[in-house]
Structure 1
Amino acid sequence: MGLLSGVAVVLLVLLHSTQSVYIQYQGFKVQLKSVKKLSDLEGYQMTHSSKSPQPAVCHHPALPLDLRPICALQEAASIFDTLRHIAVDDCELCVNVACTGCF
């Protein structure tokens, strides 16, 4: 019986470690790690994208797939700013209702 309960504890720990934290905002559900990646790409600039209404990061090949649909919106820059704000301030602590999947 002790071995079985030990295996159950290990499985619960593994399950917990594979759960992703998501941010739900304006109909989009994106992973917290994607928003952190967005922050890493924040300084990205493309010279030919200056005429584009999209934020420069939308043209970066490393932009996570779950963030790409946001680029189709006119308000993409403000949505990205809000997502970054939620991720930095509240999502890691799971105090924001926009954050799900955290324990």
Structure 2
Amino acid sequence: MASAFTRVFYLLLLADLYSCVVVRDGAFSFSLDDVKKLKDLLPVDLSKFSPRMAAMDGSSSVCANNELPEVFGHVCKSPRSGDVFKRLAQIPIDVCEICAYAACSGC
């Protein structure tokens, strides 16, 4: 009985550790799940545009989307929002999940 309880406890602990991966960009930090949601909302591949183009096109349409997670609200108010969204769009999620990317931590 105690063995089964211990296994369940460790599985729950492992699941909690997986969900705590944090992606940082300067003073901003976001959960990996929120960055995944953001990538789904991006209208175009911002990494192919110049920073000026990304700031004009990408951030305004993303910030206007009602499905944008609330944690990105303070980024939308930033004058550098286009740059932040461009950098977040370039993060390789599969590599971030194993914390092999410098912007990701928490593993």
Q: TM-score, normalised by structure 1?
A: 0.75
1:31 counterpart residue number: 31
SS at match of 2:30: strand
| Structure 1 residues without counterparts, runs of 5 or longer | 45-50
Aligned CA RMSD, in angstroms, stands at 2.4
Change in 2 beyond 3 A, CA 1:60/1:101: same
Change in 2 beyond 3 A, CA 1:35/1:69: same
User: Quick check: 1:10 aligned with 2:8?
Assistant: yes
Deviations 1:16-63 (CA, angstroms, capped at 9, x unpaired): 21332211221111011111111111128xxxxxx8994210111111
CA contact (8 A) 2:59 2:85 kept: no
Q: TM-score, normalised by structure 2?
A: 0.73
1:99 deviation in Å?
1.4
Number of aligned residue pairs = 94
Q: Which has the larger radius of gyration?
A: 1
